[in-house]
Amino acid sequence: MKIVSIVGARPQFIKAAPVSGELRKYHQEKLLHTGQHYDAKLSKIFFDDLKIPRPDLNLGVGSDSHARQTAEIMIGVESYLIQQKPDWVIIYGDTNSTLAGALATTKLHIRLAHVEAGLRSFNRRMPEEINRIVADRVSNILFCPTTAAVKNLQREGVSAGVHLVGDVMMDAAQQFVTVAEQKSRILEKLSLQPKQYFLLTLHRAENTDSEENMRNIVDALTDSPEPIIFPVHPRTVKYLKQYKLFGRIQMASNIVLADPVSFMDMIVLEKNAAKILTDSGGVQKEAYFYGVPCITLRDETEWVETVADGWNCLVGANRTKITEAINNFAPGSPQQGHYGDGSASLKIRKVLENESS
Q: Which residues bind ligand UD1 (CB under 6 A)?
A: 9-11, 36-39, 42, 63, 94-96, 127-128, 203, 234-235, 238
Report the site for ligand UDP in 229-258 (rule: CB under 6 A). Answer: 231
- How many other CB atoms are there within 10 angstroms of residue 105's CB atom? 28
CB–CB of 274/194 below 8 Å?
no
Instruction: Rule CB under 6 A: say whether 121 interacts with ligand UDP.
Output: no
Stretch that binds ligand UDP, among 55-63, 248-256, 276-284, 302-310 (CB under 6 A): 276-284
Q: Which does 21 bind (CB under 5 to 8 A by kind): ligand UDP, ligand UD1, none?
A: none
| β pairing state of 111-115 and 141-144 | parallel
Spell out where the chain has E strands.
2-7, 28-33, 57-58, 88-92, 111-115, 141-144, 162-164, 198-201, 228-231, 255-258, 275-278, 294-296, 312-314
Instruction: Rule CB under 6 A: say whether 8 interacts with ligand UDP.
Output: no
Stretch that binds ligand UDP, among 27-35, 80-88, 177-185, 274-282 (CB under 6 A): 274-282
- Decide whether 3 or 119 has the Cβ nearer to ligand UDP: 119
Given the residues 33, 37, 163, 203, select the one marked as catalytic. 203
Give the Cα-Cα-Cα angle 176, 179, 181 (nearest 5 degrees).
105
Select from 118, 84, 119 the least CA-distant residue to 6.
84
Q: Which does 305 bind (CB under 5 to 8 A by kind): ligand UDP, ligand UD1, none?
A: none
Helices (H), 312-356: 319-328, 344-356
- Decide whether 13 or 329 has the Cβ nearer to ligand UD1: 13
- Decide whether 45 or 142 has the Cβ nearer to ligand UDP: 45
Burial of 115 (0-12, 13-18, 19+ CB in 10 A): buried
- Decide whether 203 or 285 has the Cβ nearer to ligand UD1: 203
Does 203 participate in catalysis according to the annotation? yes
**Which residues of this chain interact with ligand UDP, rule CB under 6 A?**
10-11, 14, 201, 231, 260-261, 263, 266, 280-283, 286
- Residues identified as active-site: 203
